[in-house]
Amino acid sequence: MKKLHIIWLLVSLLFSGGLTHAQSTTVPCPPGIDFETGLSAWSYYVGTCCPLVAETLTSAISCRHTLTSASGLVGCSAGASATDQYGGFPIACPAGGTQSLRIGDLVNGAQAEKARYYVTVPAGTSSYALLYHYAIVFQNPSHAPSMQPRFETNAFDTTAGWTPLAGAHHTYIAGGVLPGFIINSACPTCVPVANASQPVQYRDWATATIDLSGLGGHVVAVDFMNGDCSPGGHFSYGYVDVACGLFEISATISCDTTWTLLSAPPGYENYTWYDSASFTTTYSNGWVPVSPTPASYAVILQPYPGFGPTDTLYTTISCPTTTNIATHEDRSGTVRLFPNPAGNELMVGNRTPCETELTISNTVGLVISRHHLSAGQDRINIDHLPSGIYTATIRTPAGTELKRFLKQ
C-alpha cells in the first residue's frame, strides 16, 4: 500500500486536541487498487468511440493501459517522460504513491479503453468512500460534441443488479469551457504537435470522491474510460490513482481554545459550513468555534453542474481540554508548515536530509504551484494566493504527506 500520512481523509480518521468522536478508525483498502503492486488487480477492456463503448475484456495492453512512475511510463516508449509533454505535470500522481495508471495513448483511430476495479465494501461499514485522483489530456478537433474525444468515470452496485451510483458518472468532453482545464496551442516539440489548428486541452491532477456509504457487503464496479474522437483522427488519454477512506467530516488540525478547522471529502465545487441546529450561521472555509460544550456543524457539498446531487454531512465536536498554542500548527510527519493560518509567507521545516517536492492545490484539487525544497527550512511566498484553505502535498523519500493550511 502507499506510504501515505494523510492528515484529513483516507485510511485513518484523526481528531486531535480532545475532540469528541476522537477515534482511530482503520479503513481497509482493497488490495492493489492503488497500482503499487502493478496492474494485476484491475480488469481491462477495449472498444470504440463514440459513443464510448469498451466491453471487450483483455489483458493490459502496453501503452493503452500503462503504469506510470517517477521515471516515466513503465513498458511503453511513446511519450515516456516523467512529466506529461502537453501539461508539464507529473505522470505519477503527486498525492499518491510511486505508481499510477495511464489509460489511453497518443494513437488515434476511434479507440476506447477502460479500467475496472471491483470494490467489496467492508461489511458493517456505514461510512466508506473511494478517493480518486485524475488528470486528463485530449485534442480538441472542434467536432460536434457527440464526436469529440472524452474521458468518463462511473460506478455500479453489482449486488443490486448493476445499479448506477448517484454522483459517480462524470463525462469530460473536449471543447467548450471545462472547469480546471488549460489549452495548449503552442507545443511544436510535442508529438503530435499542439498548435492553433490542433489544440490540446489538459487538466493537471485533481481529486474527486465516490461515496459508498451504506453499501457495506456490496460489490461495486468502478470504471475509468477513455475514448478518441469518432472520426478517428484525434487522441485522448487520462491518468488515474485511487485510494479509500471515510465519507465524513474530519478535524485536521489540533484545536486551541477558540477555533479548529474542519474538512470534508474533496472534489466538490462549493462547501458551505453551518451550525447544524438552525442552519442560520455560516462559517468561513470550515473554521468553527470550539469549547468544552459539544457543538454540531454541517457542511453542504455542492457538486459541479451535471456532476451528481447535493449532499450534507454532519459532525459534533468539543475540546474538553485546552491548549496554549499560538497557531494551528501541524507538527506531524517529517515536514512542518507554519504559521497556520499564514499571511504572505509559509514557512516549511524539512526534517529529512534530502530535497523535497511540495505542491499547493486548492479545495477542488487544482494544483496552484510547485516547489522544490532543500533540507532544513524554506520560505514560500504565498502572497498571490486568495484567502482560503489549501492543501500542501509533500513528497519525501519516506512517502507522501498531505497538510492543509489557511491563507488569510
CATH of the domain at 381: 2.60.40.3080
CA atoms within 13 A on the CB side of 227: 26
| Distance, CA of 23 to CA of 247 (rounded, Å) | 15
Q: How confident is the model at residue 112 (pLDDT cuts 50, 70, 90)?
A: very high
Same domain assignment for residues 63 and 205:
yes
Please check the confidence at residue 369 and state whether its pLDDT lies above 80.
yes
277-285 average pLDDT score = 84
pLDDT on residue 319: 65
Same domain assignment for residues 345 and 229:
no
| Distance, CA of 83 to CA of 384 (rounded, Å) | 25
Same domain assignment for residues 349 and 239:
no
Report yes or no: 171 and 225 within 8 Å, Cβ to Cβ: no
149-161 average pLDDT score = 97
Q: How confident is the model at residue 258 (pLDDT cuts 50, 70, 90)?
A: low
240-251 average pLDDT score = 81
Please check the confidence at residue 284 and state whether its pLDDT lies above 90.
no
Which carries the bigger pLDDT value, residue 13 or residue 310? 310
pLDDT on residue 126: 81
Of 217, 245, 273, which closes a domain?
245
| Grid coordinates belonging to 49 | 468511440
| Distance, CA of 121 to CA of 359 (rounded, Å) | 31
144-157 average pLDDT score = 97
| Distance, CA of 46 to CA of 39 (rounded, Å) | 16
Q: Is 13 contained in some domain? A: no
| Distance, CA of 163 to CA of 214 (rounded, Å) | 14
Q: How confident is the model at residue 254 (pLDDT cuts 50, 70, 90)?
A: very low
pLDDT on residue 189: 93
pLDDT on residue 406: 84
Please check the confidence at residue 41 and state whether its pLDDT lies above 50.
yes
Q: Is 323 contained in some domain? A: no
Please check the confidence at residue 379 and state whether its pLDDT lies above 60.
yes
Residue corresponding to grid cell 497557531: 327
Phi-psi group of 231: left, alpha or beta (phi > 0 → left; psi -120 to 50 → alpha; rest → beta): alpha
DSSP state of 198: B
**How many domains does the chain divide into?**
2
105-119 average pLDDT score = 95
Whole-model pTM? 0.70
Q: Is 50 contained in some domain? A: yes
3-state helix, strand, coil in the chain (%, to 5): 0, 45, 50
Query: What's the angle, vertex CA 94, arms to CA 357 and CA 25, rounded to 5?
Result: 110
Same domain assignment for residues 80 and 191:
yes
Same domain assignment for residues 366 and 222:
no
Residue 190 belongs to a domain with what CATH number?
2.60.120
pLDDT on residue 251: 66
In terms of Cβ atoms closer than 10 Å to its own Cβ (0-12, 13-18, 19+), residue 378 is middle
| Distance, CA of 334 to CA of 299 (rounded, Å) | 31
Please check the confidence at residue 161 and state whether its pLDDT lies above 80.
yes
Same domain assignment for residues 212 and 346:
no
φ, ψ (nearest 5 deg) of residue 284: -75, 120
| Distance, CA of 170 to CA of 52 (rounded, Å) | 13
97-112 average pLDDT score = 93
Same domain assignment for residues 66 and 200:
yes
Phi-psi group of 247: left, alpha or beta (phi > 0 → left; psi -120 to 50 → alpha; rest → beta): beta
Q: How many helices (H) and strands (E) does the chain have?
A: 0, 29
Q: Is 5 contained in some domain? A: no
pLDDT on residue 259: 67
The amino acid present at 63, given as its one-letter code, is C
pLDDT on residue 330: 52
pLDDT on residue 396: 72
| Distance, CA of 244 to CA of 9 (rounded, Å) | 9
Same domain assignment for residues 361 and 227:
no
The string of pLDDT tens digits covering residues 193-210 is: 999 999 999 999 988 889
Q: Is 275 contained in some domain? A: no
Same domain assignment for residues 45 and 168:
yes
- Cα torsion at 168, 174, 175, 177 (round to 10°)? 40
| Grid coordinates belonging to 231 | 472520426
pLDDT on residue 223: 98
Please check the confidence at residue 12 and state whether its pLDDT lies above 80.
no
Report yes or no: 261 and 44 within 8 Å, Cβ to Cβ: no
Residue ranges making up the domain that contains 232: 28-245
Q: Is 49 contained in some domain? A: yes
Residue count of the chain: 408
The string of pLDDT tens digits covering residues 305-336 is: 766 678 889 888 876 543 332 334 455 566 77
286-307 average pLDDT score = 81
Give every CB contact of residue 53 below 8 A, 6+ residues apart in sequence. Answer: 47, 112
In terms of Cβ atoms closer than 10 Å to its own Cβ (0-12, 13-18, 19+), residue 217 is exposed
Same domain assignment for residues 69 and 195:
yes
Lowest pLDDT segment from 13-22, 91-100, 357-366: 13-22
Lowest pLDDT segment from 13-22, 146-155, 232-241: 13-22
φ, ψ (nearest 5 deg) of residue 260: -145, 165
Q: Is 278 contained in some domain? A: no
| Distance, CA of 81 to CA of 85 (rounded, Å) | 7
Please check the confidence at residue 253 and state whether its pLDDT lies above 50.
no
pLDDT on residue 188: 94
pLDDT on residue 57: 98
48-55 average pLDDT score = 96
Of 245, 269, 289, which closes a domain?
245
Q: Is 6 contained in some domain? A: no
| Grid coordinates belonging to 22 | 476522537
